[in-house]
């Protein structure tokens, strides 16, 4: 199993992570004022998920494990969809109450 | 269910085909993902509720040994150090799978150096920000919650890096002693390797939430 690690694919993942990080930083620093920041944030989240995929699949070798292990590790991550949405919506609503209702 | 599947799930062997230690490491990492998730999501919630929020490109623009302002320059360097140490960790795991003691020692040593470089970079960044007036109770750029969450989240991540460096050092000493050769298995290198990559994975998300997103 671990014998399957090839130096070539490890170096490829390194360059992917390196280049994606440079692109992210360049986009964040040089994003034009006229364009909405929401588009930038969408791209940044997508790039981060790409980096996370390569770290987990290749560096942590999860892609090459048996399917039951992959399911066991990844299925709880579905909870993050609720977790993130619920708390950002709650925070936004609390900010609204503070600002407009004078709480 | 076919016969082989039943065999796999009956006692005597792991249905995941991994050792006990590696399985427990994965379970720990799943739970730790939620610990970090809770910290980052509470940060996002407070940020969504705030009237104003500092611009990270302005806050994180200092670089050691120069007075020039390089937005996100130093933290990008820290990110590259951590990615590079993940690469040397993969090579250490590979050497372990090939039972190459010399390779394990060499690449684990490089990984430990990478971890120590990251920790000292973080110490410099903390010291610099504290001197600029950002503490857990005050923040010259905006709401104090920015500083509170910064020190909480990067501190919690930094303590993970520190424990990773300690675990790697223990495994390095065991490798030097020839413990793994006597045991005939370098499985422990792979287990601490998983932990080390997880620390890198968390940093990717801390980097996104704290340094990049600025809406």
- Could you tell me the residue ranges of all domains in chain B? 21-212
Q: Which B residues 142-181 touch A at CB under 8 Å?
A: none
Band the pLDDT of B10: cuts 50, 70, 90. low
The reported pLDDT for the residue numbered B3 is 54
Mean pLDDT along residues B100-114 = 96
Question: pLDDT of A66-80, one tens digit each?
Answer: 898 999 999 999 999
pLDDT the model gives residue B5: 58
Shortest distance, CA B87 to any CA of chain A (angstroms)? 7
B24-41 mean pLDDT? 96
What number is the average pLDDT over the span B42-49?
A: 93
- Cβ within 8 Å of residue B85, ≥6 positions away: B110, B111, B113, B114, B115, B117, B118, B196, B200
- Does residue B15 or residue A46 have the better pLDDT? A46
For residues A77 and B36, what is the distance between their CA atoms, to the nearest angstrom? 13
Confidence label for B17 from pLDDT (cuts 50, 70 and 90): confident
Residue ranges in chain A modelled with pLDDT below 70: 1-4, 103
pLDDT for residue A37: 87
Residue B97 pLDDT exceeds 80: yes
Residue A74, chain B, CB below 8 Å: the answer is: no
Contact between B26 and A40 using a beta-carbon 8 Å cutoff? no
Average pLDDT of span B180-197? 94
Contact A18 B83 (CB under 8 A): yes
Is the CB of residue A3 less than 8 Å away from at least one CB of chain B? yes
Q: Across the interface, do A87 and B44 touch by the CB < 8 Å criterion?
A: yes
Segment B199-205 shows an average pLDDT of: 96
Interface residue B5 vs chain A (CB under 8 A): no
Under CATH, what is the fold of the domain B21-212?
A: 1.20.120
Query: Region B68-94: what's the mean pLDDT?
Result: 92
Q: Give yes or no for residue B144 having a pLDDT over 70.
A: yes
> For the ranges A76-80, B134-138, B195-199, which has the lowest average pLDDT?
B134-138
CA dist., res. B64 & res. B74, Å (int): 8
Which has more confidence, B63 or B111? B111
B169 class by beta-carbon count within 10 Å (0-12 exposed, 13-18 middle, 19+ buried): middle
pLDDT at residue B18 tops 90:
no
pLDDT score of B55:
86
pLDDT at A2: 47
Asked whether the beta carbons of residue B44 and residue A88 sit closer than 8 angstroms, the reply is yes
Cβ count near B175 (within 10 Å)? 24
Q: Is B50 on the interface with A (CB under 8 A)?
A: yes
What is residue B6's predicted lDDT score, i.e. its pLDDT? 58
Using pLDDT thresholds of 50, 70 and 90, give the confidence band for residue B215: low
Considering just the CA atoms, what is the radius of gyration of chain A in Å?
Answer: 19
| pLDDT score recorded for residue A1 | 47
Q: Report whether pLDDT(B42) > 70.
A: yes
Are B46 and B149 in contact by the 8 Å Cβ rule? The answer is: yes
Distance of residue B186 Cα from the nearest chain A Cα, in angstroms: 11
Mean of the per-residue pLDDT values of chain B: 91
**What DSSP character marks residue B10?**
S
Report yes or no: B78 at the A interface, CB cutoff 8 Å: no
B213 with A41: Cβ contact below 8 A: yes
Share in percent of chain A as helix, strand, coil (round to 5): 85, 0, 15
Query: Residue A33 has what pLDDT?
Result: 85
């Amino acid at each position: 199993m671990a014998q399957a690690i090839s130096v070539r694919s490890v170096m490829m993942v390194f360059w992917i992570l390196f280049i994606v990080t440079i692109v992210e930083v360049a986009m964040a620093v040089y994003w034009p004022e006229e364009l909405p920041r929401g588009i930038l944030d969408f791209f940044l989240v997508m790039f981060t998920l790409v980096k996370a995929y390569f770290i987990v699949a290749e560096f942590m070798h999860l892609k090459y494990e048996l399917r039951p292990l992959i399911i066991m590790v990844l299925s709880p991550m579905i909870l993050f969809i609720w977790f993130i949405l619920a708390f950002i919506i709650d925070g936004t609503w609390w900010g609204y109450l503070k600002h407009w209702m004078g709480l | 269910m076919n016969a082989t599947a039943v065999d796999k799930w009956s006692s005597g062997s792991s249905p995941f085909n991994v050792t006990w230690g590696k399985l427990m490491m994965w379970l720990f990492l799943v739970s730790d993902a939620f610990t970090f998730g809770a910290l980052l999501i509470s940060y996002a919630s407070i940020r969504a509720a705030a009237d104003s929020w500092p611009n990270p490109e302005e806050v994180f623009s200092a670089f050691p040994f120069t007075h020039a302002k390089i937005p996100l320059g130093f933290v990008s360097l820290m990110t590259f150090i951590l990615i590079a140490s993940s690469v040397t960790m993969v090579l250490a795991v590979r050497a372990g799978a090939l039972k190459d003691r010399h390779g394990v020692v060499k690449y684990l040593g490089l990984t430990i150096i990478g971890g120590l470089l990251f920790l000292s970079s973080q110490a410099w960044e903390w010291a610099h920000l504290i001197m600029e007036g950002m503490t857990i109770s005050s923040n010259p750029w905006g709401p104090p919650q920015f500083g509170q969450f910064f020190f909480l989240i990067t501190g919690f991540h930094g303590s993970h890096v520190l424990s990773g460096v300690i675990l790697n050092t223990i495994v390095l000493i065991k490798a030097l002693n020839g413990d793994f050769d006597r045991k005939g298995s370098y499985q422990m290198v792979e287990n601490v390797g998983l932990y080390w990559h997880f620390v890198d994975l968390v940093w990717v998300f801390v980097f996104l939430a704290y340094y990049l997103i600025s809406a």
